[in-house]
Amino acid sequence: MTIPSNILTLLAGVAITLVSLWYGQNHGLLPVAASSEATQVDNLFNLMMTIATALFLLIQGVLIFSAFKFRRQAGDLTDGPAFEDNIPLEIVWTAIPAVIVFILAVYSFEIYNAMGGLDPVNSRDPGPTVTAIAEPNTLVAFNPDGELALGIGVSPEDPAQQALAPLEVNVQGLQYAWIFTYPDTGIVTGDMHIPANRPVELNISAADVLHAFWLPEFRLKQDAIPGRVTKLVFTATRLGEYPIVCAELCGAYHGAMKSQLYVQTLEDYQQWQQENSPEQAENTEEIALNPAELSPGQFLAPYAAEAGISAKTLEAIP
């Protein structure tokens, strides 16, 4: 019994659809999702993988089928039939990708808007000024109402985030480290600690060159730009330790510019605050210096003993 071609086409379409839907949700290409924003980004990526898998199976399936079905038979030395333009076919294979791209564009725009990408300024308190770094180790203030803000802010569609005050952390990138400052406690540290299930607002800046603050498990990346502040607001949903990576080539040791983000329970985070706040209050030693602002004597002081330079020699150096 011969199965009609339309039935075979239907069965092939159903099989491709089922395989694509399964693989789109089970591809295993992404790291764990550790934030509420990551879930939205993953949904978009899964849709793209579903569509890509369906197109791959369809196109490759047609190529393989055609290679066997229309292969040259033994002893056949004639030319194949000549085909001219097929206008309906060209319209179809142009319209389908256009529709797919349009759907993905609208969907990605809605996700970006839901994450607060179109409203990066903190909508709860737009009036006060925000500090920005105009020169290394120099803070200036500007009004966010008078200047376009960059980044991911508090989502206008998420009243829960607007109702709960976010934890504010100032992030400064410099060659080749990340420095985190907690304005409410005065803690300054080389890694970041945050509580789970509470919005976190990062004010990101750069002291020297362009950097990029990247959290792979959070599906978030934001440029650190010299001379201004960019925003990044997110909510961690998974306890654990996650890498913080610079994703912008920033110099010879760019690959070593890494830190860690610790997502903790509220109790553990409060304990970390208590353990570090007094230490930071008592320790006035600078953790990062700009060599350009040091005199030769100040620059050489930490290496004096190793280089055999006496204290009198250092004092004589202007």
Confirm whether 4 is domain-assigned.
no
pLDDT digits over 194-211, tens only?
999 999 999 999 988 999
Answer yes or no: do 55 and 183 share one domain.
no
- 0.85 surpassed by pTM: no
Give the model's pLDDT for residue 2: 74
pLDDT digits over 17-64, tens only?
999 999 999 999 999 999 988 998 999 999 999 999 999 999 999 999
Structure tokens at 189: 């540290």
Confirm whether 140 is domain-assigned.
yes
Answer yes or no: do 173 and 213 share one domain.
yes
pLDDT digits over 99-151, tens only?
999 999 999 999 888 887 776 554 334 444 444 444 444 333 334 444 445 66
Number of structural domains, the chain?
A: 2
Confirm whether 145 is domain-assigned.
yes
- CATH classification at residue 215: 2.60.40.420
Answer yes or no: do 204 and 247 share one domain.
yes
Answer yes or no: do 42 and 157 share one domain.
no
Domain that holds residue 35: 12-64+91-114
pLDDT digits over 199-246, tens only?
999 999 998 899 999 999 999 999 999 988 888 889 999 999 999 999
pLDDT digits over 86-113, tens only?
888 899 989 999 999 999 999 999 988 8
